[in-house]
Amino acid sequence: MTAIAIPTPGGPEALVPETRPVPAPRPGEILVKVAAAGVNRPDVMQRKGLYPPPPGAPDIPGLEIAGEVVGVGEGVTRWKPGDKVCALVSGGGYAEYCLAEEGSALPVPAGLSLAEAAALPETFFTVWTNVFDLAGLKPGESFLVHGGTSGIGTTAIQLARAFGAKVFATAGSAEKCAVCRDLGADLAIDYKTQDFVAELKQATGGKGVNVILDMVGGSYIARNYEAAAPQGRIVQIAFMEGSKVQIDYMRLMLKRLSHMGSTLRSRPGAEKARIAAALVEKVWPLIEAGTVKPVMDRSFPLVEAAAAHARMESSAHVGKIVLTVG
């Protein structure tokens, strides 16, 4: 099969098509003939050599796929050859065939193409587990996501809105802010021209924000503490502006804040299966009703993965970039 390898870490050109053997499913795994694979910022980090695959994961990048089941390992009961699935995988998505754990695969929601379905797992698993499981966002609370037009941001805005929160987002241009509002944000803040702490203070009548999902880190850590409401919960899912900062923790203590973090890829299969089950029960019906949808930026053929990464790194994209196979 054709797969995209990273022989030497580097720029987008480090992504090189190679011929690899089709993997064989082990017990509890399914083999999927990939129709499309989502591109995510962690793939960019992996390509640069900054996010190595966890032990046992394939060296081929790609954390989410959609396609047809063509083989099942011993003990698999939920899926059979011919089923159309999308799946969260621990690597190997940039390929014509990919293995997935039975519990990390979900049915393709009715009405979605396989390219759209491939854009779901990484961001929907991440947003669900961080915003709802970890931070416990409740209806009527306020919610802020930084990077509102990212894959994560477009998903977070829609889900927070669908579950009854007041939604705020930051983004890097007036056009991106308009997209955030179209997706359901009550207020979108252009962080290049506006101070999000001051804007949120005004928008919440001085109360602050209950839950913050942050991928920026760096200087945002102290500013998130300022923007948070008393007993606010802040979840860190990345540090695009850096993870080493000097900080005055006084606000954390005085406001009784919780600052948490998590990463998805290295979690045990059973935990991913539990998140998948919650998504199928609580979120798939919203997708099938058209209330929530993956926001699609552009698709590229698999062998043009380097161009897909260049687009992601330009930050010109809005929503999800996918690779298509065949």
Ligand X SMILES: NC(=O)c1ccc[n+]([C@@H]2O[C@H](COP(=O)([O-])OP(=O)(O)OC[C@H]3O[C@@H](n4cnc5c(N)ncnc54)[C@H](OP(=O)(O)O)[C@@H]3O)[C@@H](O)[C@H]2O)c1
For ligand X, the binding residues (CB under 6 A) are 40-42, 122, 126, 146-147, 149-152, 170-172, 176, 191, 215-216, 237-238, 240-241, 262-264, 312, 315
* Residue 129 vs residues 151, 199, 248, 321: alpha-carbon distances, Å: 15, 27, 28, 22
Q: Chain-centre distance of CA 55, in angstroms?
A: 21
Of 64 and 96, the one with the shorter C-beta distance to ligand X is 64
Of 38 and 71, the one with the shorter C-beta distance to ligand X is 38
d(CA 166, CA 189): 14
Neighbours of 47 (CB within 10 A): 23
The residue with its CB nearest to ligand X is 150
Could you give the 3-state DSSP secondary structure of residue 289? coil
User: Min. distance of Cβ 16 from ligand X in angstroms?
Assistant: 22
User: Min. distance of Cβ 266 from ligand X in angstroms?
Assistant: 9
Of 2 and 324, the one with the shorter C-beta distance to ligand X is 324
User: Min. distance of Cβ 218 from ligand X in angstroms?
Assistant: 8
Of 48 and 84, the one with the shorter C-beta distance to ligand X is 48
User: Min. distance of Cβ 322 from ligand X in angstroms?
Assistant: 12
Of 20 and 41, the one with the shorter C-beta distance to ligand X is 41
Helices 220-227, 196-203: inter-axial angle, 10-degree rounding = 10
Tokens of 234: 């802040």
- φ, ψ at 76 (rounded to 5°): -75, 125
User: Min. distance of Cβ 311 from ligand X in angstroms?
Assistant: 9
Report which residue type is found at 22: V
